[in-house]
Amino acid sequence: MITAETINRIVRFRGNGLPVVSLYARVPTDLSSRGAMVRSQVDRALHDLRLMAKDHTLGHDAIKSIRGDIDRIAGMAAERRWLPGAVALFSCSGRGFFEEVQLPRGVRDRMTVDETPWVRSMLAVLDEYHRCCVAVVHRESARTWELYLDEMRETGKLRLSADPGRNDNKADELTKRHFRQVVTRLDELHRTDGYELLAIGGHRAELPRFIDFLTSDLRARVAGTFPVDDATFNLGDIKRQASAIVDRYERSEEERMVADAVETATAGGLAALGLEPCLWAGSVAAVSHLLVQDGTVTPGVICDYDRWLALAGQICPLCERPVRPVPDIIDELVQVVIDEGGSIKHVGADTALKEYVVAASLRFPLPSQPDG
């Protein structure tokens, strides 16, 4: 499973003068073509890198680093059998940096060589996945799993210990006690695993009763419930139902966030809509939360000295140094926002963001822009 620590290490890495190779390869579901498809994308990337390694204007250290990247990536492609979805490789051998991240859904094949890792595809994919606790609760038993990145991992089992016999009152008391134990367990899991969402399965008739036992904290995390009418259930079916709940939650969260940003900006509040104001907001570290339309790429310029970002220009108006053209200014904005401790949300849902491309909630009102 992918940890937050790995992701942060990649996002924060800088080549400090050496090139960083970022390679994304789609891994098809179809087993017969999988190996060949991945190999051809990796071969294309390696071909481009070999040409680059002949460019002596890059300097000795950069060429040596790229040669090391070629060896590492070629070796990895020869030995690994990646799962369907995509694989992202980040390499800067001159700085001893190599990371491999298996992504659960396909992204565009892409190879970039830049001073920083190209992380937007990876973040866009990971953003679609919330850490969810799945609980199937019956009157006499309960099981819990963690669902993250399309993987289910069992996290616990509870079983009613005493036999209620034929006394209905006693049976009812035992059910209540069992439900309270399940709630305690869910609370513990929340403290240790830090899940965002809860998906709860059980008998249709019993679910509302169990929900009543949840603490208000846990109840706020319930993203949905699903019927499980048999104690001998099918695990694949549980996973499907829980995944559908998480997907629905994701779409509605995206819609709500975009609507909030548009409403706040329209009312003259702390929000910015569109590339130009958002790039300026990024330049002055004013972005607390950035919404990005998934799959859009726009060229622009960046000042490497003070991280001034813009769509075009020759000279940075803040420090009067020359700027560096970049193939995707949105990716640079994402990096800057992450560096400044802001958060990112890639939006795949059909919302007003398609028109604006980016929107930001702000920490403070934007100062007026300097003349470019």
Q: Which residues bind Zn ion (CB under 5 A)?
A: 303, 305-306, 308, 316, 318-319
**Cβ-based nearer residue to Zn ion, 279 or 316:** 316
Task: Name, in order, each residue with C-beta under 8 angstroms of 138's C-beta and a sequence gap of 6 or more.
Answer: 202, 203, 206, 228, 231
Q: Is the dihedral of CA 354, 357, 363, 364 positive or negative?
A: negative
Q: Write down the number of H helices and E strands in the chain.
A: 11, 16
In this structure, the strands spanning 324-326 and 309-310 are unpaired
**Cβ-based nearer residue to Zn ion, 152 or 318:** 318
Residue nearest to Zn ion (CB): 316
**Cβ-based nearer residue to Zn ion, 46 or 329:** 329
Least Å distance, CB 272 to Zn ion, is: 20
Long-range contacts: 145-154, Cβ < 8 Å, 24+? 145/238, 145/242, 146/189, 146/193, 146/195, 147/199, 147/239, 147/242, 147/243, 147/246, 148/1, 149/1, 149/2, 149/104, 150/104, 150/243, 151/1, 151/104, 152/235, 152/238, 152/239, 152/242, 153/1
**Cβ-based nearer residue to Zn ion, 194 or 322:** 322
Least Å distance, CB 314 to Zn ion, is: 12
Least Å distance, CB 66 to Zn ion, is: 28
Position 272, amino acid: A
Least Å distance, CB 321 to Zn ion, is: 5
Least Å distance, CB 305 to Zn ion, is: 4
264 CB neighbour count, 10 Å cutoff: 17
Least Å distance, CB 52 to Zn ion, is: 28
**Cβ-based nearer residue to Zn ion, 178 or 307:** 307
**Cβ-based nearer residue to Zn ion, 322 or 327:** 322
